[in-house]
Structure 1
Amino acid sequence: MSREAPYLTVAGVLRVRIGSGEWRVGGRLPSRARLAEEYGVGRNVVQRAVDLLVAEGLLEGRAGSGTFVRVPRERLRMVRSRRREGSLAALTERGRAGAWDAHSEVRVPAPQDIAERLAVSPGALCVRTHYEFLADGQPVQLSESWEPLALTGGTPIVLPERGPLAGKGVVARMRSIGVHVGTVVELPRPARATRAQANLLGIPVGDLVLRIERTIHDTGGRPVETADIVVPDVRREVVYEFAVEG
């Protein structure tokens, strides 16, 4: 066994054994104690190796039963693109009809992190909108969007999913009040599903998700919207698509 990052070595060996069919789909792995003895490492090393393979979607833990080879799930491609003018940087699925549910709250004070992203004072009033995106009736993405009330308050677009431009996206909505979107900044990070996210997405608590922190700016660099987007990694892969100009 390698002395450097031994859990990676154990994970690699387990990955090969799973791939070779030594343990079939749905099959139970030996106990951590037995694997630790077999590989001459501590149980904590085996635990880290198993955790890694769970994150990769190869294994799943069942409370009180042990660790099992996971049934493979189809991992569909989702494309983030600027080609769709009405929904800049919208998360889409090729070949599938999309739908979403949304709920907005007005006059929500911005917490510290959101205030920093929107370049407003902490506690500044915002419109917060929760989204659940669906494909074939299955939840595939969550989003929590924040817009400064000082920007949209008193206009027909104060509620993103109501009014004359409901569902048209940030670009078209902002343009209607004389605000022109110039740039979008996205910061993707791996994360673990919280209990609330897991319940909404139909995945186990702690499953790997991709959390995308998105902020949309106008042509002058002012933030006009920021959102946290959550995509379940085990079901979807995210691809970025850009048009080439000139």
Structure 2
Amino acid sequence: MPFGEQPAYLRVAGDLRRKIADGTLPPRTRLPSQARIRAEYGVSDTVALEARKVLMAEGLVEGRSGSGTYVRERPVPRRVIRTGYRPAGEVGPFRQEQADERVSGTWESHSDQEEAGPAIAERLRIKEGERVMRTRYLFRIDGEPSMLSTSWEPLAITGRTPVMLPEEGPLGGRGVVERMAAIDIVVDNVVEEVGARPGMAEEMLVLGGVPGHTVLVIERTYRAGGRPVETADVIVPADRHHAVYHLPVR
């Protein structure tokens, strides 16, 4: 195929994508049927099917059982604002994960102990198999699932202390910095790495998306004098969120 020439299914998908973008095919509109695409563009059934698959993979359309394929509502992305500043007396993991003060939300969590696998052991700089406290969070905005987070803390640090369970005890629900300070550990820096990958089926089932659609993964690690005291994965659908960083100049 000559350079710059697109396969037929991509040309069809591109034209349908343009119609979705300019409002010719507005949200909740049924996508033209396979027969209509075949007739309108002069392509085969295979090409029409592949073009539809492209739009579904991009999250522009969704299939409804027994009804057809429809243009999806395009959500207005929320800003996940990341900042090194945390006010004294910060309350709640939602503020820890989502620092936009204009956003209010709720969350549910569950903590249990487990042995650190190779990846988490490396991030926490502990030996594989050492015990950690894993806490899973589901965050909601206006009642709608918005964000998943899983954190791990070495029990060699928090075990048998008042802050062993992040959401229970006298400092339950407080941020990592405040909880660690209560056991005389001074957190002095945090490192975040942002990546993207296809969302796993179980994640998208909870977040209300389509398996395979892109999610942002913010890998965050709190450190005290270079020693990791907590690491977490924050997961948000990429089509619904922008990661915005506010970094102080020293």
TM bin, normalised by shorter chain, reads: 0.7 to 0.9
2:147 matched residue in structure 1: 141
Secondary structure of the residue aligned to 2:111 is strand
2:129 matched residue in structure 1: 123
Change in Cα spacing, 1:184 to 1:63, as seen in structure 2 (3 Å) is farther
The reply to whether residue 206 of structure 1 matches residue 185 of structure 2 is no
2:22 matched residue in structure 1: 20
In structure 2, stretches of 5+ residues that fail to align are none
1:151 matched residue in structure 2: 157
2:170 to 155, 164, 168: 164
> C-alpha offsets along residues 212-232 of structure 1, whole Å, 9 cap, x if unaligned?
22122212x111111111112
Secondary structure of the residue aligned to 2:98 is strand
1:67 to 51, 57, 69: 69
Please report the RMSD computed on the Cα atoms of aligned residues, expressed in angstroms. Answer: 2.9
The reply to whether residue 189 of structure 1 matches residue 195 of structure 2 is yes
Contact kept, 8 Å, 2:187 with 2:222, in 1: the verdict is yes
Q: Give the counterpart letter for 1:234 in structure 2.
A: D
Aligned-partner Cα distance in 1 for 2:229–2:101 = 28
Of 38-47 and 122-131, deviating more is: 38-47
Deviation at 1:175, TM superposition (A): 1.7
1:90 matched residue in structure 2: 97
Contact kept, 8 Å, 2:153 with 2:230, in 1: the verdict is yes
Change in Cα spacing, 1:157 to 1:7, as seen in structure 2 (3 Å) is farther
> C-alpha offsets along residues 70-100 of structure 1, whole Å, 9 cap, x if unaligned?
1233332231222224478632344232322
> C-alpha offsets along residues 142-189 of structure 1, whole Å, 9 cap, x if unaligned?
111101111111211111111222122111111222222222222222
Of 143-152 and 196-205, deviating more is: 196-205
For normalisation by structure 2, the TM-score amounts to: 0.81
Of 140-149 and 69-78, deviating more is: 69-78
1:53 to 52, 58, 73: 58
Secondary structure of the residue aligned to 1:26 is coil
2:249 matched residue in structure 1: 244
The reply to whether residue 234 of structure 1 matches residue 239 of structure 2 is yes
For normalisation by structure 1, the TM-score amounts to: 0.82
Deviation at 1:110, TM superposition (A): 0.9
Deviation at 1:64, TM superposition (A): 4.8
Change in Cα spacing, 1:188 to 1:22, as seen in structure 2 (3 Å) is same
Deviation at 1:40, TM superposition (A): 5.9
1:105 matched residue in structure 2: 112
Change in Cα spacing, 1:193 to 1:12, as seen in structure 2 (3 Å) is same
1:222 matched residue in structure 2: 227
Deviation at 1:194, TM superposition (A): 2.7
Secondary structure of the residue aligned to 2:206 is helix
Q: Give the counterpart letter for 1:90 in structure 2.
A: E
Secondary structure of the residue aligned to 1:121 is coil
Q: Give the counterpart letter for 1:30 in structure 2.
A: P
Change in Cα spacing, 1:237 to 1:231, as seen in structure 2 (3 Å) is same
Aligned-residue sequence identity (percent) comes to: 41
Contact kept, 8 Å, 2:138 with 2:147, in 1: the verdict is yes
Aligned-partner Cα distance in 1 for 2:38–2:217 = 34
Q: Give the counterpart letter for 2:99 in structure 1.
A: T
